[in-house]
Structure 1
Amino acid sequence: MISKIKAWARNLKKQLYILYFAYKDGRVPWYTKLFTACVVAYAFSPVDLIPDFIPVLGYVDDIIIVPLGIMIALRLIPENVIRDCSEKASELMKNGKPKNWIAGSIIILIWFLILVGTVFALRTFIK
C-alpha cells in the first residue's frame, strides 16, 4: 500500500511539472494558461491556504483540491503539448521543484487580513 501511495505522489508531482511547462507553451489557450498558472502556483507555494496544522481540513487541499485542479487543467491542455511537456517534466524531476514565493506571499497576506479583520471585529464586538 505504501508503494502505491509513493507511486501516486510521484505521478502527481510529474503532472504538476507538466502543467508548469504547459503554462509557458504558446500552443495553450490563454484561459487554460490562467487556470494552469493558478493550480501550479498554489501547488508550488510554500504556504497552504488551509494550514496543515488544522485537523482534517489542513490536508483537504493536498488530497482533494490540488489533484482536482491538476485533473481539470490536464483535460484543457492539447495532447501534443502534454506529450512535449512530459519529456521536460521527467528531466526537471531530477533537479527539484521550483518555488513560487509570490503565491506564498499572497496566501500569507490573505491570512494576515483575516487575522486583522477578526481582531477588529472582536474589538468592536467587545466594546
Structure 2
Amino acid sequence: MLFNRIRRWVRLIKKDGLTLWFACRDPQAPLWLKLFTGLLALYAVSPVDLIPDVIPLVGWVDDAVIVPSGVMLLLRMMPTPIRVRSLAYVEQRQRQGKKLISRSGLILLLLLWLALIMWGVRHFMT
C-alpha cells in the first residue's frame, strides 16, 4: 500500500519535471521560467544543500521537499498555454513509449563530478 502510493507520487513528480523541461524548451517560455528552472536543477544536482546530506535522513529531506515543491510552484506560475502544450507533449511521448534520455547531458554531468572529485583529491591530498 505504502509502496504503491510512493510509486504514484514518483510518477507524478517525473511527469511534472518533464512538463517543466519541455516548457523551458518552448520558444515562447518567459525568461524567468527558464532561469528559475535552471536554478532549481542546479540545486538538485549541487553537492551544496541547505541541510548537509551527511546528516542521516534529515539531509535528504530538504531535497525531497524543496525540489518537488519548486517544480510544482513553477508549474503553477507558468503561463497556461505553455503548460498545456508541454503537458500534451509529455503525454504524447508517454503514449508512444519514448523515454527522455540525454546522453550528452549525462556525460557532461559525469565529467563535471569527475573534475570536482579530481580537484578535491588534488587540493586536499597535497
Shorter-chain TM band: 0.5 to 0.7
> How many residue pairs were aligned?
114
Aligned counterpart, 1:21: 22
Deviation at 1:2, TM superposition (A): 1.6
Q: Distance in 1 between matches of 2:98 and 2:42?
A: 18
Q: 2:125 aligns with which of 92, 95, 119?
A: 119
CA shift, 1:83, in A, is 1.2
Q: Give how far 1:62 is off.
A: 5.1
Label 1:71 to 1:103 Cα distance change in 2 as closer, same or farther (>3 A): farther
Q: How many angstroms does 1:6 deviate by?
A: 0.8
1:1-127 aligned at under 5 Å gives the runs: 1-40=2-41, 48-50=45-47, 56=57, 59-60=60-61, 63-93=64-94, 94-99=97-102, 100-101=105-106, 102-120=108-126
Q: Distance in 2 between matches of 1:84 and 1:119?
A: 51
Q: Is the 8 A contact 1:20 1:40 kept in 2?
A: no
Cα shift at 1:12 = 0.5
Q: Tell me the CA shift for residue 103 of structure 1.
A: 3.5
Structure 1 vs Structure 2 CA RMSD:
3.0
**1:97–1:57 CA distance, 2 compared to 1 (3 A):** farther
Instruction: Give, in whole Å, the separation in 2 of the partners of 1:91 and 1:77.
Output: 20
The DSSP-based 3-state class of the residue aligned with 2:71 is helix
Change (3 A) 1:16 1:110: same
- Give TM-score scaled by structure 2 length: 0.67
Question: Quick check: 93-102 or 60-69, which moved more?
Answer: 60-69
- Code of the residue aligned with 1:97 in structure 2: it is L
Conserved? CA contact 1:17–1:89, under 8 Å: yes
User: Which amino acid counterpart does residue 25 of structure 1 have in structure 2?
Assistant: D
Identical-pair percentage? 25
Q: CA shift at 1:39, angstroms?
A: 3.9
User: Which one has more relative contact order, counting CA pairs under 8 Å at least 6 apart?
Assistant: 1
Query: Normalising by structure 1, what TM-score?
Result: 0.67
